[in-house]
Chain A
Amino acid sequence: MQLSNRLIKWLISGPPLVFLLIFFVAPSLIMIVTSFRLPGEFGGLVPLNIFAERSGIDSGLTLETYQFFLSDWIYLEIFLKSFVIATLTTIICIAMAYPLALLIANSPRKFRNLMIMLVVLPFASNFLIRVYAWMIILGPESTLSHVINHILGVLDFEPITLLFSPFAVLIGMVYVHLPFMILPLYTNLEKHDPILLDAAQDLGANRWQRFWSVTWPLSLPGIFSGSALVFIPVLGMFAIPDILGGTGDIMIGNLIKDQFLGTRDWPFGSTLSIMLTIAVLGVTVFFTWLARSVMRSP
């Protein structure tokens, strides 16, 4: 009996496990190996020669790429810049998603599904097309630009350009990732037991106190998972800075893309990708630790 149970477990979890092994672990390993190899003179890689010492040919393996990465502040600067954008996006998403998720969770049950459907609705059209739409909204000849610059003109300020700026990048990021914050938050808030709030009210807590000492701490797991879902994709994003950014809005994703499609430097592209993966893992570990310690303390 027990044996067949175990067998069934393996049969069920086997296929996804194999899938992940083949399509996640193997490419990651290839990437790690590539980062230690030499770029070919005309693109691609120099062939490997593990037993080079005897034959006197170059082994094709090197630490040079990592040295190149670390020899210079500029790449760390781009990492830092991407982190700042990802953090800002996450904070804005929390601030915008929280009231909305709360509203949906407190609505009558029959409306909730409709509202959730409306949140998910933008996914029905392609993400690039939605970002291109922002190009039109923010463009120099758009109504929005005219209105803003008119008001600025009245107040005696210099006119501004919305498109091709860090501001446009941030708007695009928030717009695309907002649903990923709303959904986990809603799932969390919906499960809160209303009796807790009633009890707090009976004990004399006002609206504000009820929120801060009951709802907010209970919703932290939702915020943490939402933050992970927003922060990590934003960190590696390259399409939005490409479309909406100006002459200076480069992120780590753009840099990686450029190594493969522009410079034909696969080892350096791989090194940058590994650094990004390490950074993302670091952030995940930090969030998990934070979530655990916050949840344990009160």
Chain B
Amino acid sequence: MLGLLIRYLALVLAAWLSGCSGMDSMTSDKTDTRILQLFNWNNYIAPETIQHFEKTCNCQVKQDYFSDNEEMLAKLAAGATGYDLIVPTGNALHTLIQQQALSPLDKTQLPNLKNIESAYLNTRFDPANQFSVPYAYTLTLLGYNRNKIQELGLPTNTWALIFEPEYLQKIKHRVTVLDSPRELMAAALLYLGYSANDQDETHWNQAKALIIRAKPYWAAFSNTSYIRELAIGDLWVVQGYSNDLFQAALDAHKTGRSFAIDYTIPKQGAVMSLDSMVIHRSGQHPDLAHQFINFMMDGKNSAELTNLIGSGNPNRAATPFIRPELTRHPVIFPDPSTLSHLEMLTDLNHKQRRTLSRIWTEIKLR
């Protein structure tokens, strides 16, 4: 929420500044510059990709950001309009489809669809890809300070690292987990041997007990600040998103730290968040949006994102353009046997959401 507030302030400021500087340009060419309004995650497209697209389409790309699917849905539910293109995760995609908020895609305008790996098409959220095209994916993983963990002799391939007191006591107050009920519960459920999408309330209560037992050892619930704290050595173990951990590892490397940041997929499995491009009904330029989707499915453009943030790439044609050290990385390009351990989260109905919120409140209060 605070991120949201600050982003609003920044947006207002930016709008005001651009309003001032845009005064003269507005009078000259306001008639024919079309604007593609993109509602995207923070840092989820390479700046050069945008420049490149603006040149080919003779248009302007404007971005609005969200840091959480719920935040995006809440903003749309409150009546935000004018977005041509949104990049939701699977479960939010499902919600948007059910809300009839999206326009169906015209696939004749998307010849590059052939580049997408079939494993990422026809998901249960949008069975025939009527509304969505895969963009990129991230995994929810364990990130850690490699030197410190080796020194303490702790295992890194299991969720036990953030749930079992026998390990946690060695890293007390140096651990953060995500401030997201779904992600944390998913990790706990996976550790207990259930599916990340398990909806049995008794299993949820077991997961709650597991979390409450581990909570005294954690420093905080953190969705973003862990990137910096892991990179400077304040934190040793985090539950985090693969692209953020990629960033932390890069930062630690660039600043010449005496330790390295690494991340692995726990053996119990992990959550995969496949983000897709969709066209919102309220958008002004569906043709431009189609053009953008097709542009992003081009191998080279798609590769730029992976090279920038280390996200997973569902695009076959992108591989030759991705830096070789990334294509070798087991998290960014998981092998087929690992892929079968990855689960995409399904949206919950309102009763389940209320139950989960109740559990989350108790977790926070205890």
Contact = CB atoms under 8 A, between A and B. Distances in A.
A259 B357 contact: yes
Nearest to B215: A247
A142 B2 CA distance: 23
Residue among A42, A250, A254, A259 facing the most chain B CB atoms (10 A cut-off)? A42
A44 B263 CA distance: 38
B364 A242 contact: no
Contact of A238 (B1, B70, B98): B1
B328 interface: no
Contacts of B5: 128, 239
A74 B361 contact: yes
A280 interface: no
B95 A74 contact: no
A263 B2 contact: no
A164 B220 contact: yes
B354 A42 contact: no
B349 A260 contact: no
Contacts of B220: 164, 246-247
Given A77-B365, A128-B5, A247-B218, A264 B358 contact: no
A260 B70 CA distance: 9
A238 B220 CA distance: 16
Q: Is the interface of B mostly helix, strand, loop or mixed?
A: helix
Nearest to A239: B2
Interface in B1-18: 1-2, 4-6, 9
Nearest to A242: B2
Nearest to B356: A263
A140 B235 CA distance: 12
A235 to B, nearest CB: 17
Interface string B25-66: 000000000000000000000000000000000000000000
Interface string B349-366: 110011011101110111
A156 interface: no
A40 B4 CA distance: 24
A275 to B, nearest CB: 14
A81 to B, nearest CB: 8
A80 B350 CA distance: 27
Interface of A: 38-44, 68, 72, 74-75, 77-78, 81, 126, 128, 140-141, 161, 164, 238-239, 242-243, 246-248, 250, 254-255, 257-265, 268
Given A43-B77, A247-B215, A250-B364, 5 more contacts: A44-B77, A247-B219, A263-B353, A264-B70, A268-B354
